[in-house]
Amino acid sequence: MNPKIQKLTEEIERISVRIAHLQNRLQELTQQREELENTEILGLVRSVQATPEELAAFIKSFRQKGKPALNLNTQEEPENE
């Protein structure tokens, strides 16, 4: 076989192996990010201190109108004017 063709074939194989490795790493990192996002979302949901029904109504309202219809943040105190 032509040495140039052999050299290109070997480089293609090395790059293909590297691409496969990087794709696996990308998948791992994407999964880690999703797990961290889910953990953060779960923490936020738990901090709301709302009943499951109130939370479901809030999410439904937000999806329909693009803004919440209920104020579920019970930890804040009203401001004095």
* pLDDT tens column, 12-54: 999 999 999 999 999 999 999 999 999 999 898 888 888 889 8
Residue 70 has pLDDT above 70, yes or no: no
Tell me whether residue 35 is in a domain. yes
Tell me whether residue 72 is in a domain. no
Residue 63 has pLDDT above 80, yes or no: yes
Tell me whether residue 76 is in a domain. no
Write down the pLDDT at residue 81.
42
Write down the pLDDT at residue 79.
52
Tell me whether residue 74 is in a domain. no
Tell me whether residue 18 is in a domain. yes
Three-state SS for 33?
A: helix
Neighbours of 60 (CB within 10 A): 11
Write down the pLDDT at residue 68.
56
Does the global pTM surpass 0.85?
no
Cα 80 from Cα 48, distance rounded (Å): 22
Tell me whether residue 80 is in a domain. no
Tell me whether residue 70 is in a domain. no
Which domain, by its residues, includes 19? 3-65
Domain count within the chain: 1
Tell me whether residue 60 is in a domain. yes
